[in-house]
Amino acid sequence: MKSILIIGMGRFGRHCARKLNELGHQVMAVDKDEHCIDDVLAYVTDGVIGDSTQKGFMRSLGVKNFDVCIVAIGDDFQSSLETTALLKDLGAKFVVSRAARDVHARFLARNGADEVIYPERQLAEWSAIRYSSNHILDYTPLSKDYAVYEIQIPSSWVGKSLAQLDLRRKKKINVFAIKQGEILITDIQPDAPLKSNQTLLVIGTNKEIDKCLQ
């Protein structure tokens, strides 16, 4: 369990807080709008109303005690930048800041952000890859070129085994697990025939996955 500070309770901040609560972490939510704090009180450990650009207020939060501080402010870049810098000045261990543009990301990194995230861009990339293919169900990038994909088994593969398909050699993709409903099978039997109700978790390049599923 980690203790996490989230500053900015817009849509992104609320979704983060809700998911972190589901995962069993302690979450403190901060926003200068009382209504935004009221909306998240049901699923955070604590909610505090205040201006994150004010050093006195930020010092009162004890930012050194949090494992991660997330700056989720999305509509006021100046406030996001000042908040990020203040967190580092006050000894925050690890600061994650939200950015909408590359120029914002550069300024945030220079002013103390340990990591910068692009929620809208990342969702757009996920959606483009997910919905441009008939077989991709999920997608997690690992690097510029490689990613983990969850793919439906094409009808031409059903009844064949992974040994027969020889995907690593022929398609340059690696299967590391099979899903069947909620069951994740990691002890793969290479001679077992694939079923239509299964999906494959694979690692490969975007280009090879796309070619494989066409």
List the chain domain ranges.
3-117, 122-213
Lookup: tokens for 172: 């340059």
Q: Which of 12, 3, 2 is nearest to 80 (CA)?
A: 12
pLDDT on residue 139: 83
Assessment of whether the complete model's pTM goes beyond 0.85: no
- 80-93: burial string, b at 16+ Cβ within 10 Å, e else: bbbbbbbbbeeebe
| pLDDT, averaged in runs of 10, over the chain (214 residues) | 94 92 95 94 95 96 96 90 96 93 87 89 78 80 84 91 91 90 90 93 85 75
Strand partners, 152: 199
User: Is the distance from CB of 29 to CB of 55 less than 8 angstroms?
Assistant: no
> Tell me, which fold does domain 122-213 have in CATH?
Alpha-Beta Plaits (3.30.70)
Could you say which of 3.40.50.720, 3.40.1650.10, 1.10.4080.10, 2.60.120.10 is the CATH number of the domain covering 3-117? Answer: 3.40.50.720
